[in-house]
Structure 1
């Protein structure tokens, strides 16, 4: 690969649903999930990303190198806006960031994060947040090098599946 790839970022469109699902599945495999732990489908993604009530947005990174001479999808970021009562401002939450192994080390992940930071500033967000698995040292190192602060005092809580049904009284 060329030492100086061309990287282009573009918002995903409904035509990209298959690509987005592929990136989700690759990320799940990287994070050591089994296929049955990822029930995402193209239909669900189409409905929830591009339907009448979109819940998240997707930015796709494309790379062109002098070796390949054609643009290839290299990674993606899935994000949405939340709200902080303490800052009384919106925040940008990065749900997923994934770069295909062939394109790691080229600056794709950093460029996606920079673009999301710009979107956060444009929307006057008070902060940008995400989580990372504690064993993912390459990602942690990159995030720290970009100025991210690890918040160790916060514990993620999750209710899903039958527990969510029970809590909802179903």
Structure 2
């Protein structure tokens, strides 16, 4: 049901990312190319990792989890930051999302990582309910900040 992604999965992962962006009402923001994704996952210095959820009968991919390592200065160990988790609507309710998260939790335990964390859009009540049913809890005391575009360029150039 869950397997590590391979280079042959990159076009499918790219398509799933596009589907996720559409679901999150942000299609115009999903600009990564298949080539960029392949380099990030399988290049000389991979920056991210992925797992595939596949249909038991057909073997066709129905979802994915894309993640990378973070580091806790307080705990002194790595953790996993889950950038994207997506299961196609027709396959939801089949245990694929839970199985993807369980695989990442297993990796955390096996490698001594201290946490598994991710962000979820406030309006995505089905996902929030799913995560909370697994025992995940929101980190309400933290607010995510982001620099992109012109603000990022300005700060980086000293403007």
TM-score by length of 2: 0.95
Q: Given the alignment of the two structures, is residue 33 of structure 1 paired with residue 26 of structure 2, yes or no?
A: yes
Q: Given the alignment of the two structures, is residue 73 of structure 1 paired with residue 61 of structure 2, yes or no?
A: yes
Aligned position for 2:147: 159
Equivalence map 1:115-154=2 (5 Å): 115-154=103-142
Q: Given the alignment of the two structures, is residue 107 of structure 1 paired with residue 92 of structure 2, yes or no?
A: no
Aligned position for 1:52: 44
Name the structure with the higher helix share: 2
1:90 corresponds to which of 72, 78, 91: 78
1:64, distance to aligned residue in structure 2 (A):
2.6
The CA RMSD over aligned residues, in Å, is: 1.1
Aligned position for 1:12: 5
Runs of 4+ in 1 over 4 A off after TM superposition: none
Gaps of 5+ in 2: none
SS in 2 for 1:147: coil
After superposition, the C-alpha distances for 1:112-143 in whole angstroms (9 at most, x for unaligned) are 00010000111111111001001111111111
After superposition, the C-alpha distances for 1:85-135 in whole angstroms (9 at most, x for unaligned) are 111111111110000001000111001000100001111111110010011
The size of the alignment, in residue pairs, is 158
